[in-house]
Amino acid sequence: MRVLVLQHIACEPPGEFEDVLRERGAEILRVELDEGGRLPARDEFDAIVAMGGPMSVNDEAEHPWLVEEKALIRTAVESGVPFWGSCLGVQLLAASLGARVYAGPAPEVGVLPVELTPEAADDPVFAGLPQTLATLQWHGDTFDLPDGAVLLATSPAYRHQAFRVGPSAYGVQFHIEVTPSMGEEWATIPEYAAYADRVLGPGGSDAVLADFRAATGEMQGHARGMFERWLALVPAEAGHSSAST
């Protein structure tokens, strides 16, 4: 299995998802777009994992590579390539399929619950999860659902928290993949800490870190289960030719 990882900043790798990929022997083709990485040809990968980042999908003037990235995602998803997107990744999926991405009513930051929709009960990735999931939220944008999308999770602050398009294209607004080491690193990044303090008030960053430490085991468990079930949707014939890692 050859998996294209679209990474938008060094401190937001796939985390728990990457651990699962390596355990499964997947070949990882990582493209760090903010560092000038070049996107591969369509025949070089079997699935896409798109991670978070501090930019908006609408920042094409500042980050011209977003145009090509969204075009690649659209072409891949429309041709049936399995896709998993987290935070910025879900917004990229929505935008790539023609949906609007825009600023939400207020930033959503912290360890916060999302509720599964009735449709999640029959979904191959979300079925069997608790009705309420603890998630790490760190975003200010939201999105409309693309045509044909199935809403899988929601919250009072941001109605669109997770959706599926077709049989194997998934996006989640929240982070559950963050490992303990990633969480500790985020707390030391001045821009990230300052953002939490602006949204939550003085000491907000410390409060988020404390809540993350308490919930990380639960979140990682759900991340692993969901991602393993998503990987099962990658066609069995994938990965018959080689790719670089």
Instruction: Classify residue 143 by burial, with Cβ atoms within 10 Å: 0-12, 13-18, 19+.
Output: buried
Phi, psi of 33 (to 5 degrees): -65, -35
Domain ranges (residues) in the chain: 2-231
pLDDT tens sequence across 138-165: 999 999 999 999 999 999 999 999 999 9
Per-residue model confidence (pLDDT) at position 238: 64
What are all long-range contacts of 195-199, with beta carbons under 8 Å and residues at least 24 apart? Answer: 195/107, 195/109, 195/138, 196/109, 196/110, 199/106, 199/107, 199/109
Per-residue model confidence (pLDDT) at position 245: 31
Per-residue model confidence (pLDDT) at position 84: 98
Q: d(Cα 1, Cα 239) in Å, to the nearest integer?
A: 4
Per-residue model confidence (pLDDT) at position 235: 85
Sign of CA dihedral 184, 109, 35, 189: negative
SS3 at position 59: coil
- Under DSSP, the state recorded for 173 is S
Per-residue model confidence (pLDDT) at position 237: 65
Annotated active-site positions, please? 87, 175, 177
Q: Which of 104, 109, 113 is nearest to 206 (CA)?
A: 109
Instruction: Classify residue 141 by burial, with Cβ atoms within 10 Å: 0-12, 13-18, 19+.
Output: buried
Per-residue pLDDT of the chain (245 residues; tens, 9 = 90+): 999 999 999 999 999 999 999 999 999 999 999 999 999 998 999 999 999 999 999 999 999 999 999 999 999 999 999 999 999 999 999 999 999 999 999 999 999 999 999 999 999 999 999 999 999 999 999 999 999 999 999 999 999 999 999 999 999 999 999 999 999 999 999 999 999 999 999 999 999 999 999 999 999 999 999 999 999 999 876 654 433 33
2-231: CATH homologous superfamily? Answer: Class I glutamine amidotransferase (GATase) domain (3.40.50.880)
